[in-house]
């Protein structure tokens, strides 16, 4: 009889092979010789950004990562019932409602973020509407002798204040007080909410001639040009603080500008080279420098980054050193530029025309603010824009010329749109932009 161990040995080897096969099935070796562990799914479920990019300007929400809330404030007049948020999330997460879906934010909206592993996190998003500019009120004077307070969104009259003559200067609102001038030769201060008079200036001490300009109010003082003097008044009481005179023939007509304790203003006229730009100490009225080379000017100066810009009635458009009055550059002598300049993003905008009836001379200009190099020009064929100051908002320049309001791309000078209100006549006032609307006074009407 043969020994049985070779058979047992064979059976033992077969058993080992079977065990190895089972182990291989349970723990599959990786190519490098180890074993592969199943991948763990991500549990990240955060909202990282939340924005309304379709609004102009875009609005980005504030995310509280602890409270899981999102808050955003949109400008007055925004329709919050049809807002479209753009949402970014943690990697591999999803959100419901989806990013880009229109939502009604007149009430809080709950967003549920689902991680790759199926876990969820809820966020509550709330949108508030900013308080309207000037409490949602537009203030405008009229040739009928009244200053009106108008609801900015509906056009309904809130109140009116009657003066002794026409009001066609631009009012100024500071700290809930409306300041303006009337052709009854007085300056007024009214409560912005109620129209109640706080004070009126005394014509015997504040002698006004042609009150077209807007008052400038800075650090508790109101600055305004009179017949032969530039005045500084106490903004709270209307009492005169100082008066500066350099010419006894022509008035100060344009609104002054106050920057870093210096008042910049122009005399309207030319008498022995005493007209032109003046820089005065804002607290005392002492003269710091005088620049006559600009000539006759009704342009309110603009000051940015140490340069002062102003237009001239005959000598085009100029830039000066704000500290010394030295001329830095000039453009197109012979143009009439009584328009007040506006600066935005390193570009200065101004309206101008040349004397004569050639419509191609009526233009809105854009210059490099540092060098004076012209970037573009836009012809306003309906009339000259030299008396209407441009306004820049959200990448658009607005200016009135002839009887037309133009909207022009601020970067390229391409026309966006134009509007010619019925019976507009000649637009001389500058527009105002707020609440997504452009406001413009024309004849005896306010348009939005």
Q: What integer pLDDT is reported at residue 335 of this predicted model? A: 81
Contacts of 424 (CB under 8 A, 6+ apart): 403, 404, 442, 443
Contacts of 274 (CB under 8 A, 6+ apart): 246, 247, 267, 290, 292
Tokens of 98: 């989806």
Of 2-11, 111-120, 382-391, the least confident: 2-11
Exposed e or buried b per residue across 405-428, where buried means at least 16 C-beta atoms within 10 angstroms of its C-beta: bbbbebeebeeeeeeeeeebeebb
Of 8-12, 305-309, 412-416, the least confident: 8-12
Tokens of 422: 């019925």
6 compared with 257, residue with greater pLDDT: 257
Contacts of 97 (CB under 8 A, 6+ apart): 103, 109, 111
Q: What integer pLDDT is reported at residue 441 of this predicted model? A: 78
d(CA 284, CA 280): 8
pLDDT digits (tens, 9 = 90+) for 204-255: 999 998 888 899 999 999 999 988 899 999 999 999 999 999 877 788 888 9
- For 272-281, the CB contacts below 8 A with 24+ separation are 272/247, 274/246, 274/247, 275/247, 275/250, 277/301, 277/308, 277/310, 277/320, 277/325, 278/230, 278/244, 278/246, 279/322, 279/325, 280/230, 280/244
pLDDT digits (tens, 9 = 90+) for 311-366: 888 888 899 999 999 999 999 877 888 788 999 999 999 988 876 566 677 889 99
CATH of 47-129, one of 3.30.70.1350, 2.60.40.2340, 1.10.3720.10, 2.60.40.2470: 2.60.40.2340
In this prediction the pTM is 0.73
d(CA 419, CA 403): 9
Residue 425 reports pLDDT greater than 50: yes
pLDDT band at 112 (very low <50, low <70, confident <90, very high): very high
Domain ranges of the chain: 47-129, 339-448
Count of other CB atoms within 10 angstroms of residue 433: 16
Q: What integer pLDDT is reported at residue 274 of this predicted model? A: 77
Cβ pair 294, 331 in contact under 8 A: no
Q: Which CATH architecture has domain 339-448?
A: Beta Barrel (2.40)
In which order are the strands placed within the sheet that holds 157-162?
137-141, 146-151, 157-162
Does this chain's domain 47-129 share its CATH topology with 339-448?
Answer: no
pLDDT digits (tens, 9 = 90+) for 292-317: 888 888 888 999 999 999 988 888 88
pLDDT digits (tens, 9 = 90+) for 139-151: 998 888 999 999 9
d(CA 4, CA 295): 128
Residue 11 reports pLDDT greater than 70: no
Contacts of 288 (CB under 8 A, 6+ apart): 262, 279, 280, 281
Cβ pair 46, 89 in contact under 8 A: yes
Q: What integer pLDDT is reported at residue 343 of this predicted model? A: 92
In which order are the strands placed within the sheet that holds 94-96?
62-64, 69-74, 120-129, 109-114, 94-96
């Amino acid at each position: 009889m043969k020994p049985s161990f070779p058979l047992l040995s064979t059976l033992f080897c077969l058993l080992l092979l079977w065990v190895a096969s089972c182990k291989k099935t349970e723990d599959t070796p990786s190519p490098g010789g180890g074993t592969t562990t199943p991948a763990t799914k991500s549990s990240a479920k955060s909202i990282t950004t939340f924005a309304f990019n379709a609004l102009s300007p875009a609005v980005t929400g504030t995310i509280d990562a602890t409270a899981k809330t999102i808050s955003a404030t949109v400008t007055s007049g925004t329709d919050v019932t049809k807002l479209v948020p753009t949402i970014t999330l943690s990697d591999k997460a999803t959100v419901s409602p989806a990013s880009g879906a229109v939502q009604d934010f007149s009430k809080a909206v709950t967003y549920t973020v689902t991680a790759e592993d199926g876990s969820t996190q809820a966020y509550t998003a709330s949108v508030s509407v900013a308080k309207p500019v000037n409490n949602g009120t537009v203030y405008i004077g009229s040739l009928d002798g009244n200053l009106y307070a108008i609801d900015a969104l509906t056009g309904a009259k809130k109140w009116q204040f009657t003066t002794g003559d026409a009001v066609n200067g631009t009012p100024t609102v500071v700290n809930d007080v409306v300041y303006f001038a009337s052709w009854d030769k007085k300056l007024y201060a009214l409560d912005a909410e109620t129209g109640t008079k706080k004070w009126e200036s005394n014509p015997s001490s504040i002698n006004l001639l042609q009150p077209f300009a807007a008052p400038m109010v800075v650090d508790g003082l109101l600055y305004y040009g009179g017949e032969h003097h530039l005045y500084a008044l106490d903004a709270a009481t209307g009492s005169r603080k100082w008066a500066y005179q350099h010419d006894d023939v022509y008035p100060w007509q344009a609104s002054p500008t106050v920057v870093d304790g210096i008042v910049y203003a122009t005399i309207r006229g030319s008498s022995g080279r005493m007209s032109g730009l003046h820089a005065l100490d804002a607290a005392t009225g002492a003269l710091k420098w005088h620049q006559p080379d600009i000539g006759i000017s009704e342009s309110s100066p603009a000051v940015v980054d140490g340069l002062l810009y102003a237009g001239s009635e005959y000598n085009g458009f100029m830039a000066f050193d704000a500290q010394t009055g030295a001329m830095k550059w000039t453009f197109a002598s012979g143009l009439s530029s009584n328009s007040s300049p506006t600066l935005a993003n390193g570009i200065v905008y101004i309206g101008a025309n040349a004397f004569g009836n050639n419509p191609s001379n009526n233009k809105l200009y854009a210059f490099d603010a540092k060098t004076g190099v012209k970037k573009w020009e836009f012809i306003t064929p309906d009339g000259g824009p030299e008396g209407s100051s441009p306004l820049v908002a959200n990448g658009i320049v607005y200016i009135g010329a002839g009887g037309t309001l133009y909207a022009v791309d601020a970067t390229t000078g391409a026309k966006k749109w134009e509007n010619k209100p019925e019976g507009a006549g000649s637009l001389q006032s500058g527009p105002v932009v707020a609440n997504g609307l452009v406001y413009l006074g024309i004849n005896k009407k306010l348009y939005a």
